[in-house]
């Protein structure tokens, strides 16, 4: 029996304090959750202080909603607060890992062939700024590459392997710690777990993408404790044709959380997908001035009672739209 949908409320506050005034700032935010058949955005609001001079919404090249805002007057601090209410339905109850295509067949479909149009997932099989090609990544996945192994079974085994090989340590890395360093010290945060797993899959010629989002402290399905609930979280999607009935082709993405060694359920909220963290950072910008700065992030995710029969998701483009651990 599939678990019931969950109604989750998320508050995400980011605060910058600058040593000297900032005269001009341009920022991009990936803070509005994704919306699809399994994840409905019931309410979303984003507050920026000081009030931006300009703001606009758009969809990036990966299909993620994003907000751009500018501050043209001098300011010594910046506070960005997003509040979301999201209904999340289970997506992987029908997962049949053994029915997915052999990993070699999937890799071959992504390989370059003259006069053959590239597959839409091919860009997620290539190196990216935070996930370069590294020989040490190959050592993570090679023992699992048995001939004919279904790609979803391979991905699940790799998730378990990464979870067992790496220690979660919130003080061990920063957003910009190179992946090579993470692989050498075998410890990090959810961003590092995700990058390591993505890199290993790409070394096998498979497509994997980075997911930013949120999760509950305890999984609604079984109450197990999850790591990474006190900040934005990160996990992985793997292109697994055949594993999800009715979700082949462009939609055959299987979510896997190597930090918690689990298939994400209704306690995971997806914010954005991309090649790596650099594509989906919750808040990124360019400023003039500021000097050094102090940076604080606070995230609260909680489950609400699902007794809202008249709730409807809000419009996709509202008039007022406002290191993952």
Indicate if the pLDDT at residue 320 is higher than 60: no
For residue range 200-240, list pLDDT tens digits in order: 999 999 999 999 999 998 878 777 778 876 678 999 999 99
First to last CA, the chain: 31
Q: How confident is the model at residue 245 (pLDDT cuts 50, 70, 90)?
A: confident
Residue % of the chain over a pLDDT of 90: 80
- CA-to-CA distance for 7 and 302, rounded, in angstroms? 9
The label of the residue with tokens 């699992």 reads 144
Average of per-residue pLDDT values in the chain: 91
The label of the residue with tokens 């370069």 reads 132
Window from 22-36, 179-193, 244-258 with minimum mean pLDDT: 244-258
Q: How confident is the model at residue 314 (pLDDT cuts 50, 70, 90)?
A: very low
- CA-to-CA distance for 237 and 207, rounded, in angstroms? 8
Q: Which residues of 177-205 are buried (b: 16+ CB within 10 A; e: fewer)?
A: bebeebbeeebbbbbbbbbbbbbbbbbbb
Indicate if the pLDDT at residue 157 is higher than 70: yes
Indicate if the pLDDT at residue 312 is higher than 90: no
Window from 32-36, 181-185, 196-200, 291-295 with minimum mean pLDDT: 291-295
Indicate if the pLDDT at residue 311 is higher than 70: no
Average pLDDT over residues 274-289: 96
- Counting Cα atoms < 13 Å in the Cβ hemisphere of 183 gives 21
Contact 137, 200 (CB under 8 A): yes
Residue 270: beta bridge partners? 213
**What is the pLDDT at residue 248?**
66
Residues of the chain with CATH 3.10.620.30: 97-278
Indicate if the pLDDT at residue 48 is higher than 60: yes
Is domain 97-278 annotated with CATH 3.30.750.24? no
For residue range 132-143, list pLDDT tens digits in order: 999 999 999 999
Instruction: Read off the DSSP letter of residue 319.
Output: S
For residue range 83-131, list pLDDT tens digits in order: 999 999 999 999 999 999 999 999 999 998 888 888 889 999 999 999 9
What is each CA distance from 233 to 37, 49, 163, 210, 229, in whole angstroms?
A: 22, 24, 15, 11, 7
Q: Which secondary-structure segment (H or E) carries 25? A: strand 6-29
**What is the pLDDT at residue 33?**
98
The dihedral sign for the CA sequence 250, 254, 258, 260:
positive
Q: Under CATH, which architecture does the 6-89+281-304 domain have?
A: Sandwich (2.60)
Residues of the chain with CATH 2.60.40.2250: 6-89+281-304
Average pLDDT over residues 246-266: 89
Contact 46, 322 (CB under 8 A): yes
Average pLDDT over residues 277-293: 94
Contacts 24+ apart (CB under 8 A), 174-180: 174/323, 175/277, 175/281, 175/323, 179/130, 179/131, 179/132, 179/134, 180/132, 180/134, 180/136
Contact 325, 170 (CB under 8 A): yes
Contact 84, 32 (CB under 8 A): yes
For residue range 3-17, list pLDDT tens digits in order: 789 999 999 999 999
Cα-based torsion angle of the residue sequence 325, 279, 107, 181 in order, rounded to the nearest 10 degrees: -50
């Amino acid at each position: 029996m599939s678990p019931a949908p969950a109604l989750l409320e998320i508050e995400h506050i980011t605060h910058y304090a600058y040593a000297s005034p900032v005269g001009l700032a341009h920022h991009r935010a990936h803070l509005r959750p994704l919306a699809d058949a399994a994840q409905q955005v019931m309410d979303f609001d984003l507050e920026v202080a000081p009030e931006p001079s300009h703001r606009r919404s758009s969809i990036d090249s990966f299909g993620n909603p994003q907000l751009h805002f500018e501050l043209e007057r001098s300011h010594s601090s910046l506070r960005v607060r997003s509040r979301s209410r999201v209904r999340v339905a289970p997506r992987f109850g029908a997962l049949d890992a053994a029915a997915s295509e052999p990993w070699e067949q999937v890799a071959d479909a992504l390989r370059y062939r003259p006069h053959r149009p590239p597959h839409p997932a091919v860009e997620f099989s290539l190196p990216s700024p935070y996930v370069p090609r590294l020989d040490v990544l190959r050592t993570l996945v090679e023992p699992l590459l048995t001939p004919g192994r279904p790609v979803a079974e391979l991905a699940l085994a790799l998730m378990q392997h990464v979870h067992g090989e790496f220690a979660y340590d919130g003080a061990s890395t920063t957003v910009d710690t190179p992946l090579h360093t993470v692989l050498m010290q075998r410890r990090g945060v959810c961003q590092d777990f995700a990058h390591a797993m993505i890199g290993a899959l790409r070394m096998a010629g498979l497509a994997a993408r980075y997911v930013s989002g949120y999760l509950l402290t305890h999984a609604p399905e079984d109450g197990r404790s999850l790591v990474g609930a006190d900040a934005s979280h990160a996990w992985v999607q793997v292109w697994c044709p055949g594993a999800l009935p009715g979700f082949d082709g462009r939609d055959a993405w299987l979510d896997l959380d190597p930090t918690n060694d689990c298939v994400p359920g209704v306690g995971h909220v997806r914010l954005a997908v991309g090649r790596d963290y650099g594509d989906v950072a919750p808040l990124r910008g360019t400023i003039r001035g500021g000097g050094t700065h102090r940076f604080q992030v606070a995230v609260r995710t909680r489950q609400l009672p699902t007794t809202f029969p008249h709730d409807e998701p809000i419009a996709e483009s509202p008039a007022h739209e406002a290191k993952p651990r």
